Chain A
């Protein structure tokens, strides 16, 4: 079955440490997205990529970095510069360029501070 796989499901970060969240999709989608979800708030866009080797900052990119070396993969690194990283992180993808195309989501990674 096609879908989006995020790993790990739970992740703990120590002070001063960078951690990388994995996102892989086998839907052959061009566009991929990273969101952060905090209690009581809407999804906030961190980074997105419309095509391989290209990505754009979202609304809250500071303290995060991404790469898009392969169509299937869009890993997110939470750097030590992100002072409040505790949140639920969701990866999504979209097929086609029609605005009506919904985003498909992975099951998320919950990141906490040790």
Chain B
């Protein structure tokens, strides 16, 4: 079966750095997305990786290793508004999006 694993919850301190991991086992791979979702709101797109390596976008970076079936989202200079759930999603060989359950990130002052 297809599976995406993320930690359920993480806690970090304002101003610090946090890394949210995502591992996947899917039938084929056509890219990996990261989304941010505040409670009760719509998910919003953060990043897309299809090649190995690090993609940097301001305070957020996303890394992919296809051989390891592994990605992480790195958030720097954490702000209180970064408190949200972070969703990892993989496009499989049939171009269907498979979603992880999300990681709830709690930022403490």
Residues of A within 8 A of B (CB): 4, 40-45, 88, 90, 99-100, 102-108, 110
Which stretch of B13-21, B39-47, B60-68 is in the interface?
B39-47
Q: A99-B91, A100-B31 are in contact. Are A45 and B96 (CB under 8 A)?
A: yes
Task: Choose one: A41, A42, A43, A107; the contact of B41 (CB below 8 Å).
Answer: A107
Q: Is the CB of B43 within 8 A of A105?
A: yes
Q: Which B residue's beta carbon lies closest to that of A33? A: B97
Q: Is the CB of B40 within 8 A of A108?
A: yes
Query: What chain A residues lie within 8 Å of B97 (beta carbons)?
Result: 43, 45, 103
Residues of B within 8 A of A (CB): 4, 8, 30-31, 33, 35, 40-45, 48, 50, 87, 89, 91, 95-102
Tell me which of A42, A45, A107, A108 has the highest count of chain B C-beta atoms within 10 A of its own C-beta: A42
Query: What chain A residues lie within 8 Å of B30 (beta carbons)?
Result: 99
Q: A42-B4, A100-B31 are in contact. Are A108 and B101 (CB under 8 A)?
A: no
Q: How far is the CA of A44 from the CA of B99 in the complex (A)?
A: 8
Give, as a whole number of angstroms, the nearest-CB distance from A8 to chain B. 14
Task: Choose one: A42, A107, A108, A110; the contact of B87 (CB below 8 Å).
Answer: A42
Q: Is the CB of B33 within 8 A of A102?
A: yes
Query: What chain B residues lie within 8 Å of A110 (beta carbons)?
Result: 40
In the complex, the 4 A-B pairs of residues with the closest C-beta atoms, listed nearest first: A42-B99, A105-B42, A102-B45, A43-B99
